[in-house]
């Protein structure tokens, strides 16, 4: 019996894997399940960096929607799916225990989705690739208009795989004056950095930093309900 053909070197395997299309991540998943060697190559920081440099920014795998529509499901009122995949590879959608909750998508950044429940004043930070999530209560402050953002808290991160790194939630609120002519007061709070190590039990995130200095605004000021924009290291909310 002839000897088996020699195995391909790791360098040659990486060159082959670089040709896999980024808009169909299922190809990478199937390859990583083939052997421990391939899994190590595909999950290693060296290949991940080369793959990102070769293909550029990762493609959009889908989009989130967090509202209700009339006429869904044969004329009955029903929820629009929170995540609609644009590729064959699907993320882990929350299980049935979320059906009775009023969570909707408020922000998405750096591999995480921030879901909000205005009725119960609660947030969930959700990793759609692993299905893991962490709860966070709103800051103990009165607010009539609000904006929230989730972002990576790791200094110097290139944001390629930072869904496993520490993260922070930024909460911006506007408190109306007691009288119509009183100015509004805007404030901001930042949650203490929390690790994204989902292999450990996930306790609620219940610690917020001290509020930032207050900002006085006209009486009719409010925060527009649109996602904030992150430019370099600054978050921008529309007021």
Of 41, 68, 90, which residue constitutes the final position of a domain?
90
Q: How far is Cα 64 from Cα 46, in angstroms, rounded to an integer?
A: 31
Q: Are residues 114 and 64 in the same domain?
A: no
- Tell whether 5 is covered by a domain: no
- Tell whether 47 is covered by a domain: yes
* pLDDT for 18: 92
pTM: 0.67
Long-range contacts at 116-119 (CB < 8 A, ≥ 24 apart):
116/148
Give the residue numbers spanning the domain of 187.
Answer: 99-236
pLDDT in tens, 172-211: 877 766 666 667 777 788 887 664 333 333 344 445 566 5
- Cβ atoms within 10 Å, residue 195: 14
- Tell whether 4 is covered by a domain: no
Domain count, the chain: 3
pLDDT in tens, 32-85: 988 899 999 998 888 888 888 888 877 777 777 765 444 444 444 445 556 777
- Tell whether 2 is covered by a domain: no
């Amino acid at each position: 019996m002839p000897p088996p053909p020699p195995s391909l070197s790791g360098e040659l395997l990486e060159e082959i894997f670089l040709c896999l299309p980024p808009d169909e991540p299922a190809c990478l998943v199937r390859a990583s399940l083939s052997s421990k060697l391939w899994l190590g190559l595909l999950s290693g920081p060296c290949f991940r960096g080369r793959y990102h440099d070769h293909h550029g920014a990762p493609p959009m795998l889908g989009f989130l929607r967090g509202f209700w529509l009339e006429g869904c499901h044969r004329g009955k009122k029903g929820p629009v799916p929170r995540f609609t995949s644009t590729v064959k590879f699907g993320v882990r959608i929350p299980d049935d225990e979320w059906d009775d909750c009023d969570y909707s998508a408020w922000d998405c950044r750096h591999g995480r989705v921030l879901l909000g429940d205005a009725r119960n004043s609660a947030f969930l930070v959700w990793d759609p690739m692993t299905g893991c999530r962490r709860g966070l209560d709103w800051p103990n402050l009165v607010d009539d208009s609000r904006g929230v953002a989730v972002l990576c808290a790791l200094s110097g991160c290139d944001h390629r795989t930072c869904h496993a790194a520490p993260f922070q939630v930024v909460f911006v609120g506007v408190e109306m004056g007691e009288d119509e002519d009183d100015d509004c007061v805007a404030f901001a709070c930042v949650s203490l950095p929390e690790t994204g190590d989902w292999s450990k039990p996930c306790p609620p995130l219940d610690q917020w930093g001290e509020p930032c200095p207050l900002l006085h605004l006209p009486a009719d000021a409010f925060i527009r309900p649109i996602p904030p924009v992150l430019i370099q290291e600054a978050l921008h909310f529309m007021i």
